[in-house]
Amino acid sequence: MRAELDQPEGHIVSETETIMSDTGRSSMLRARGLRKEYGKEAGLVRAVDAVDLDVAPGETVAVMGPSGCGKSTLLHLLGGLDRPSAGELHLAGQRIDQMGEKALARLRRDAIGFVFQAFHLMDELTAVENVELPALLAGNSTRAARRRAAGLLERVGLADRARFLPSALSGGQRQRVAIARALANEPLVVLADEPTGNLDSEATLEVLRLFESLHEAGQTLVIVTHDSRIAATADRLISMRDGALVDETRLAGGTTGHLSSLAGLDA
Amino acid sequence: MGRILLICRLAARDLRRRRAEAVLMLIVITAAAATLTLGLVLSGATSNPYLDTKAVTAGPDVVAQSAGAAKNGGPPASLTALENAPGAIGHSGPYPLASPSLRAGGHTVSTAAAGFTVEGRDQGRAPVDQPKVTQGSWVRPGGAVIMQTYAAELGVRPGDRITLNGRRFTVTGLAVTAAWPSVNAPGLIWLTTADARSLATAANPLTYALNLKLADPATATAFTNAHGTGNVYLSSWQQTSSQDAKAVQFEQEALVAGSWLLSMLAIASVAVLVGGRMAEQTRRVGLLKAVGGTPRLIAAVLLAEHLALALLAAAAGLAAGWLAAPLLTSPADGLIGAAGAPSLTAVTVGVVAAVALAVALFATFVPAIRAARTSTVAALADAARTPRRRAWLIAVSRRLPVPLLLGMRLAARRPRRLMLSAASITITVAMIVGVLTIWQLDHVSKVPGGLINPVHAGVNQVLLVITVVLTVLAAVNAIFVARATVADSRRPLAVARALGATQEQVSAGVSASQLLAALPGAILGIPAGIGLVAAVSRNGPVAILSAWELIAVLLGTLLVVSALTAVPARIGARRPVAEILQSEAA
C-alpha cells in the first residue's frame, strides 16, 4: 500500500471543487461528490452533502463544525466504516467506495487506523493485548504482534501500563492506548473522531503531544474535533455545516512544536 | 398495597413490551410442567381399566397353571383339587395349554422363544373368564382368536391366516381377558379344546390352566401363597393387574426422569432469556432507580414478571399434561374401558407449581440481584456489564485463526452463559444417547420371533416425545444464547470489524463461541446419557453405543449448533459498524 504513495496521481480539479488541498502533492485520501443520505423523500437527510476533499500524504487535516453537521459520518465514510450514497472515494490512488465488505475490512485492517472519542478498547483485554489485536487480526505472528505492541506502548509513554486493564487506566491513558492500537498495522491514514472529547485538559495535552509526534513522523491524520486547540495543530482546518464543507483555513504547517504555548495547555 | 400495585403494573407493562420473549419463556416452562404432570398423573392410571376388564369378562381372582399333565394326558390332580379349595366359589377349566410354533404376519415364533401360549376353550360361555371379543367372533373348529395386544404385535386381523405347528388356522376374532397379562408376558391364542389338544407334541406336552373365583377377591394373594406348589403355579388378579400397570409405570418413570431433565433445561433456557432481557433493560432499571425505585422494588418487579409467567406456565402445563395422560394410558390393545383423565391431586398441582416457580426463581434470582445492585448512573448510561477476563484463554486465543480468536474471547467474556449453554447441550445429548442406548437394548433383547415388547414400545414412544421436546428446547436455547452473545458483544464485535475483521470472521467467531460451549457439553453428555440409562436400568449393566455412533452424536450436535447459531451470528455481523460505535458508550 505504501508503495502506491510514490506513484504520481493525476489531480483533476473540477469547477465545482471549492475546498481542496493545494499542496501540489498526490492525494492520500481523495473524495469527489461524496454524499451520505438517510431516509427518503420528505424525510431525506443529507448527512454528508457533495464533499470534495483531498488529503496529502503526511498532512494533518482537522475537521470542525457544530454537532450533527456530519463530521463523524464523513470520517466513517473516509475510513470505510460506512458506505457513501454517491460520490467517489480514493485511498492512495485506489478507489474504495465500490469495494466489497471483505475488501473494506482488509483496507481498514491494513491501511487505516481509527481513534474514537469513546476509546472503544476491549474491556477484558490489557493495554498490550488491545494494541496487538489489529496485528493478530492481520495474521501476524504472536511474537511480532506483541513486539510491535510493546514498542507502540513505549512510544505513547505507557510501557509501564502494558498489563493494565482499561478500567485501571485514566481517560488520557486509554486514549493513548487507542492511538497505539490505531498505529499497530502502520496505517496510511489515522482517522480520529473527537479524540479529546472525553478528556480533561491534562489528558488532552498528552494526546495533542502524541498527534504532534505522529505529524512530525509524517503520519497522515484526519481529526474531527470540536476543540480549536486540536484544530490549531493541523496543517489545514476544514469547517463543515449541514453536511457540506464550507470553509478551509491553511495553518502554515500547523502549530507543530508550539503546543505548550497554546492557551490553557501549558504543561 | 400501592407498592404491590406498582410492581404488578410495571411487570405487566414489561411483559407486554417483550411479548416474544415472554411467550418463549412460557413455552419452555410449560413443556417442563406438562411432562412432570404427565409423569405424576400416570401413577396407577391402569388400575381402573384392568378392573373394568375383569368385571366385563368375569375375570378370575386366581389363575392356576400346572407344570405338566397327568399320566393320561389330562389335568393333574393337584390342579383340579383347587376347584374345591377353601375360599374358591367357582371355576372354569382346566383348559389345555399348548406351545406350538407359530407363523403369522411375516413372523415366525418358535416355542423356545416362549412368545405365546395356545389355550383350548369351549365354544360356549364359561362361568369364569369370558374373554370379550372386540373384533370378529369367538372360537370355532379351525378358527383362532388372538389376544388383542398380541394381534397388534403380530400385525394380524380377523380373516388372516396363521400357522400353528404347520397347521393352518383362520383368525376368527380378537379378544381381551383379565386372566392373562395384556403386556410384558407371552401372547395368548384361543382355539377350540380339540384343536389345542391336537397341537401337543412329545417335546411340548400339554399343561393346564384353571380359573378360580374366590368368595373374597381381596384374599387372592393369600390364596396363591397358601396353595402354590412346585407343580402348580398360581397368580392372583392383583399380580396380573400389577403387570399390566408396569407398562404405564415404566412410562411414568421415563416421564418423571424426562421432566427433571426438562426442568433443568428450562432453568438454563430461562436464565439465558432473563439474562438477555436484563442486558436490554439496563436503562429501564436506571430510570426506575432514578425516580426513587429501591433495589428491592427493582428485584421485586423482575421476580414478579417471571413468577407470574411461571404460574401461568404451571397452569398450562398441568392442563396439557392432564389432557395428554389418557393418550398414554389408553388400554386400547390389552384392556377394555378407558383410563380416562386421571384426577389431578393437590400434591400433583403443588409439585408442578413448585417446580415451575423454582425454575423461574433459580433463573431470575442472579439477574434480579444484579439489577438491584447496579449503580444508577451506570444503568442510566446503559453501560455494558463488565465482561470477565480469562487471561489464559486470551493468551491461548492469540495463537489461533481469527474466527477462533474472536470466538474464544467472546466465550471467555460470559462464563456463566457459557456454562448454561454447555449444560443445555449436556442434558440434550445425555437424553439422545440414553434413547439410542435403550433402542439398542431393545434391538439386542428382541425375541427371536422379532416381536416388539409393547412395554418397551410404549416407553420408547414416551422417550422419543421427551427427546424431541428436549431437542427443540435446546435448539431454542442455542439460538437465544447466540442472540444474547451477539447483543452483549455488539461493541467489541464492531470494534473488531473497525480494526479489520471481516463480517465472515465475526459471524464465524460468534458461532465458534457457541461451539466452544457445545463441545464440552456434548462430550459430557455422552457419559451422562450412559449413566442415565444405567441408573434407571433394572437389569444391571447396559450396552454402550459403538464409538462411531458416539462420534456421530458428537459431530451431529456440533453441526446442529453451528447451523442454529449461524443466523443470529450473521445478523449480528451485518449491523453497521459506525452505527454501533456511535451509539455505544465506552
Complex ipTM, two decimals?
0.77
In a domain, A255, yes or no: yes
Distance from CA of B497 to the nearest CA of A (A): 7
**What is the radius of gyration, based on Cα positions, of chain B?**
32
Q: Nearest Cβ partner of B492 from A109, A110, A122?
A: A122
Supply the DSSP symbol for A261: G
Asked if A91 contacts A29 with a C-beta cutoff of 8 angstroms, the reply is yes
- Closest-CA residue of B relative to A183 is B499
CA nearest to A76 within chain B: B578
**Structure-block grid coordinates of residue B24:** 418463549
Residue A180 falls inside a structural domain: yes
Query: CB–CB of B394 and A124 under 8 A?
Result: yes
The C-alpha atoms of residue B111 and residue B109 are separated, in whole angstroms, by 7
pLDDT at residue number A223: 94
Give the 3-state secondary structure percentages of chain A, helix then strand then coil, rounded to 5: 35, 25, 40
**Minimum CA–CA partner of B392 in chain A:** A125
| Residue B419 in contact with partner chain A when CB distance is under 8 A | no
CA distance B495 to chain A (A): 7
Torsion (CA) B438, B439, B442, B444 in degrees, nearest 10: -100
Confirm or reject contact between A99 and chain B (CB < 8 A): no
Question: Which residue pairs from B375-382 have beta carbons closer than 8 angstroms and sit at least 24 positions apart in sequence?
Answer: B376/B286, B376/B289, B376/B290, B377/B286, B378/B286, B379/B282, B379/B283, B379/B285, B379/B286, B379/B289, B380/B283, B380/B286, B380/B287, B380/B290, B381/B286, B381/B585, B382/B282, B382/B283, B382/B286, B382/B585
Q: Which residues of B touch A178 (CB under 8 A)?
A: none
Domain extent, residue A66, equals: 15-122+170-263
Domain ranges of chain B: 71-244, 387-586
Residue B463 C-beta-side C-alpha neighbours within 13 Å: 23
Where on the phi/psi map is residue B549: left (φ > 0), alpha (ψ -120 to 50), or beta? alpha
Question: Could B389 and A138 be called an inter-chain contact, meaning their C-beta atoms sit closer than 8 Å?
Answer: no
Instruction: Specify whether the CB–CB gap between B211 and B126 falls below 8 A.
Output: yes
Structural domain contains residue A135: no
A81 vs B: CB within 8 A:
yes
Measured between CB atoms, does A59 come within 8 Å of chain B?
no
CA of A163: which chain B residue's CA is closest? B391
> How many structural domains compose chain A?
1
SS3 at position B8: helix
**Which pLDDT value is given to residue B157?**
84
C-alpha closest to that of B158 among B203, B104, B108: B104
3-class secondary structure, A126? coil
Pairing of strands A236-241, A60-64: parallel
Q: B256-291: string of b/e by CB count within 10 Å (b at 16+)?
A: bbbbbbbbbbbbbbbbbbbbbbbbebbebbbebbee
- Considering only CA atoms, which of A189, A225, A195, A226 is closest in space to residue A210? A195
The pTM of this model reads: 0.66
* CA separation for the pair A168, A208 (Å, rounded): 22
What are A55's strand-pairing partners? A29
- According to DSSP, residue B129 is labeled -
Contact residues on chain B for A152, CB-CB shorter than 8 A? none
Contacts of B375 in chain A (CB under 8 A): none
Q: Is B444 on the interface with A (CB under 8 A)?
A: no
Is residue B81 within 8 A of residue B64, CB to CB? The reply is: no
Q: Where are the alpha helices (DSSP H) in A68-139?
A: 71-78, 101-111, 127-137
Partner-chain residue, chosen from A101, A174, A185, that has the shortest CB–CB distance to B503: A101
Cell of B250: 415404566
Q: Is B377 on the interface with A (CB under 8 A)?
A: no
Angle between helices B490-498 and A101-111 (to 10 degrees): 70
Burial of B43 (0-12, 13-18, 19+ CB in 10 A): middle
Contacts of B577 in chain A (CB under 8 A): 81-82
Tell whether B499 lies on the interface with A, counting CB pairs under 8 A.
yes
Is residue A49 a part of any domain in this protein?
A: yes
Q: What is the pLDDT along chain B (586 residues), one digit of tens a residue?
A: 667 777 788 778 877 877 877 888 888 888 878 877 877 776 545 445 677 777 778 888 888 888 777 677 778 888 888 888 888 888 887 888 888 878 776 666 655 455 678 888 887 888 888 888 888 888 888 888 988 777 777 778 888 888 888 888 888 888 888 777 766 566 788 888 888 888 877 777 888 888 888 888 888 888 888 877 777 788 888 887 777 766 656 666 666 677 777 777 777 777 777 777 666 667 677 777 776 777 777 778 878 888 888 899 999 988 888 887 776 655 445 555 444 446 678 888 888 888 888 888 877 777 777 777 777 766 666 655 667 788 888 888 888 999 999 998 888 888 888 888 898 889 888 888 887 887 776 554 444 344 444 455 556 677 777 778 778 878 887 888 888 888 878 888 999 999 989 999 999 999 999 998 899 999 999 888 888 777 766 555 556 778 888 899 899 999 999 998 888 888 888 888 888 887 654 4
Which residues on B lie below 8 Å from A145 (Cβ)?
Answer: 398
Residues in chain A, pLDDT under 50: 1-24, 255-257, 259-267
User: Residue A197 phi/psi, 5° resolution?
Assistant: -60, -30
CATH code of the domain covering residue A202: 3.40.50.300
Neighbours of A88 (CB within 10 A): 15
Interface test with B, best of A36, A137, A198 (most B CBs within 10 A): A137
Amino acid in position B567? V
Grid coordinates belonging to B285? 432499571
Asked whether B189 and B145 are in contact (CB, 8 A), the reply is yes
Residues 6+ apart with CB under 8 A from A31: A51, A52, A53, A54, A77, A78, A87, A88, A89, A90
Backbone phi and psi for residue B101, each to the nearest 5 degrees, phi listed first:
-90, 150
Q: Which residues of B touch A116 (CB under 8 A)?
A: 581
Kindly determine whether residue B586 and residue A105, on different chains, have CB atoms separated by under 8 Å.
no
Structural domain contains residue A159: no
Judging by DSSP bridges, how do beta strands A220-224 and A189-193 pair with one another?
A: parallel
State whether residue A248 sits within 8 Å of chain B by CB: no
* pLDDT the model gives residue B584: 56
CB B205 within 8 A of CB B69: yes
Nearest to A108 among B409, B492, B500 (CB): B500
Tell me, what's the pLDDT at A16?
Answer: 31
| Rg of chain A, C-alpha, whole Å | 18
Interface membership of B582 toward A (CB under 8 Å): yes
| Smallest Cα distance from A14 to chain B, Å | 30
Which DSSP letter does residue B179 get? S
Length of chain B: 586
Residue B498 to residue A110, Cβ atoms within 8 A:
no
- Comparing CB atoms, the residue among A101, A120, A122 nearest residue B581 is A120
Cis, peptide link before residue A8, omega less than 30° from 0: no
Alpha-carbon span B390 to B540, nearest angstrom: 43
Grid cell in block for residue B363: 433463573
Mutation for testing the B interface, residue in A75, A81, A116 having most B CBs under 10 Å: A81
In chain B, residues with a C-beta closer than 8 Å to the C-beta of A68 are none
Is A177 part of any domain?
Answer: yes
Chain B touched by A181 (CB under 8 Å): yes
Q: How far is CA A126 from CA A122, A169, A196, B111, in A?
A: 8, 10, 21, 77
For residue A150, which residues of chain B lie inside 8 Å, CB to CB? none
Q: Quick check: A134 contacting B, CB < 8 Å?
A: yes
Q: How much is the pLDDT for A26?
A: 78
